[in-house]
Amino acid sequence: MPTEQLIQRSQQEQPAKSEKNTINSVAKAFGSACKSYDLVARLQRYSGRKLLSYLPDATRSTVLDLGCGTGFFADTLADNYQTVCALDISKEMLNFSKTNRSAKIHWLNADIQNLPIKDNSVDIVYSNLAIQWCEPLTDTFVEIKRVLKPGGIFIFSTLLDGTLAELKSSWQKVDNDQHVIDFNSLAIVEQAVTDAQLSINELQQSAITLDYDNVYHLAKELKGLGANHLPRKSKKGLAGKAGWQNMSNAYDVYKDSAGNYPATYQLCIGVVVKS
């Protein structure tokens, strides 16, 4: 299918001002990370490759990559499928991708919950660690269902409650402010899929642990990923040198025998189908 036949020319209802502010802040956080993202994206590479194993062998398919970031996996999709559209909320990410990725890919700057894509036009939607930024989650699945063809498949990864538990616990020893993002539980993701009237083929949770040299290494990687967007944080700016030191001291309880600082990510892999 020619790419232009996918694009929805008429605009859907625009998000409310408060929602738009959140969208803009997420876009800004990830846009500032575009040049460093691929250097620190260990978890993204792992989950993205895991998703590839669920892709159907149907080369003539039309594929939509939601939250494509730097376009790393959009490149792989373009090698295997006839038509690939890659969408991201960050213009900076897309500008980086256009320069560094396949010329076959059509790039779209848009919000996942307001897709500029026609109804029933996409065979496969692929999304690697992006929908955790979307609220309410049911609306996300409803919008993805809208653009999928009957029988179309949505393959995604997201982060769940319990992610960065070590960091969250360590910060709680310092103050009551939010320093770590709160993610949805697996039950909430499952309910959102059900409410959107999509069929579940696969929905699994697994714990992935990455090692860091110290807590500053962890914080730097999270910032490099743009994953430091905290919508419910009451205090702006850093916690201060003393706060960071106290948190680091509290994190020592998790340090392993080799001196590494572990951080656990609760990863959800989902495969759902539009009946």
Assess contact for 143 and 115: CB atoms under 8 A. Answer: yes
The pLDDT tens digits of the residues spanning 63-104 come to: 999 999 999 999 999 999 999 999 999 899 899 999 999 999
**Residue 91 identity:** K
SS3 of the chain: the string is CCHHHCECCCCCCCCCHHHHHHHHHHHHHHHCCCCCHHHHCHHHHHHHHHHHCCCCCCCCCEEEEECCCCCHHHHHHHHHCCEEEEEECCHHHHHHHHHHCCCCCEEEECCCCCCCECCCCEEEEEEECCHHHCCCHHHHHHHHHHHEEEEEEEEEEEECCCCCHHHHHHHHCCCCCCCCCCCCCHHHHHHHHHHCCCEEEEEEEEEEEEEECCHHHHHHHHHHCCCCCCCCCCCCCCCCHHHHHHHHHHHHHHCCCCCCEEEEEEEEEEEEECC
| Fold annotation for 15-164+181-210+265-273 | Rossmann fold (3.40.50)
- Kindly give the confidence (pLDDT) of every residue in the chain, 275 residues in length, as a single tens digit, with 9 standing for 90 and above: 556 677 775 444 444 444 444 445 544 444 444 454 545 588 999 999 999 999 999 999 999 999 999 999 999 999 999 999 999 998 998 999 999 999 999 999 999 999 999 999 999 999 999 999 899 999 999 999 999 999 999 999 999 999 999 999 999 999 988 888 889 999 999 999 999 999 999 999 999 999 999 998 998 888 765 555 554 444 544 467 899 999 999 999 999 999 999 999 999 999 999 99
Could you count the other beta carbons within 10 Å of the beta carbon of residue 181? 19
**Edge to edge, what strands does the sheet with 148-159 contain?**
106-109, 83-88, 62-66, 122-128, 148-159, 261-273, 199-212
